[in-house]
A = this chain, B = another copy of it.
Amino acid sequence: MHPETPTGYHCMPLANITSEDFVFHGFVAGNTNNSFNAALTSAFVTDFPGLNDLGISAARLDIAEGGSIPMHTHPGATELLIMVQGEITAGFLTTSAVYSNTLKPGDLMVFPQGMLHFQVNSGKGKATAFLTFSSANPGAQLLDLLLFSNNLPSNLVAQTTFLDLAQVKKLKARFGGRG
């Protein structure tokens, strides 16, 4: 009868593990005073090492009135959104249809793995949601950062997106890209 340690925290010697390793504090509203009027407080494995190998993580999303989380993907995780306060219009895009909903407290919405999606505060006052992910490290690829924060030549970006060259240059300027 050889009792075994539970899976999921094999990176630390068992003797060093304490109850605190399984708790995350500070899952609270972030500062929405930014260009998105939105804040995301993440509890991913990089923030909460106890999630290592456990296949789950979370984030708190706060969006001020008029704000939004722009188009992005999580290449390796499904997202499940739990509405807490206010109203959010959210959706994900496929090549055949858009699936979007207006969400209120008591609603959940699921965004399948890898789908491009967005969340907009469509109500009055602040909106809050809890996000959970089917991965300890869901990543987050913001479309504008992918397209416009790099040094790829603007005309190549224009050619491969069908955006006007001026539009590409304008957003490269905004998001820190060169080229």
Chain A, interface residues (CB within 8 Å), range: 35 or more
A154 within 8 A of B: no
Q: Is the CB of B97 within 8 A of A150?
A: yes
A125 within 8 A of B: no
Query: Cβ of A130: which chain B residues have Cβ within 8 Å of it?
Result: 82, 130
- Among B6, B100, B164, B171, which residue has its beta carbon within 8 angstroms of that of A94? B6
Which residues, 112 to 127 on A, are CB-close (under 8 Å) to B?
112-116, 118, 120
Query: Cβ of A138: which chain B residues have Cβ within 8 Å of it?
Result: 4
- Among B75, B114, B115, B167, which residue has its beta carbon within 8 angstroms of that of A167? B167
Query: Cβ of A3: which chain B residues have Cβ within 8 Å of it?
Result: 94-96, 139-142, 145
- Among B8, B46, B75, which residue has its beta carbon within 8 angstroms of that of A7? B75
Q: Is the CB of B76 within 8 A of A132?
A: no
Query: Cβ of A91: which chain B residues have Cβ within 8 Å of it?
Result: 19, 152
Would you give the 0/1 interface string for A79-121, flagging 1 where the beta carbon is closer than 8 Å to chain B? 1101110000101111111111101001111111111101010
Q: Is the CB of A25 within 8 A of B107?
A: yes
A23 within 8 A of B: yes
Query: Cβ of A68: which chain B residues have Cβ within 8 Å of it?
Result: 159-160
Query: Cβ of A83: which chain B residues have Cβ within 8 Å of it?
Result: 27
Given A28-B106, A71-B161; A93-B146 close (CB under 8 Å): yes
Query: Cβ of A113: which chain B residues have Cβ within 8 Å of it?
Result: 7-8, 54-55, 75-76
A1 within 8 A of B: yes
A-B contact pairs, 16 of them (CB 8 A): A4-B141, A5-B94, A9-B112, A14-B96, A17-B97, A25-B107, A26-B106, A56-B134, A68-B160, A76-B113, A95-B141, A116-B143, A118-B160, A120-B159, A144-B161, A163-B163
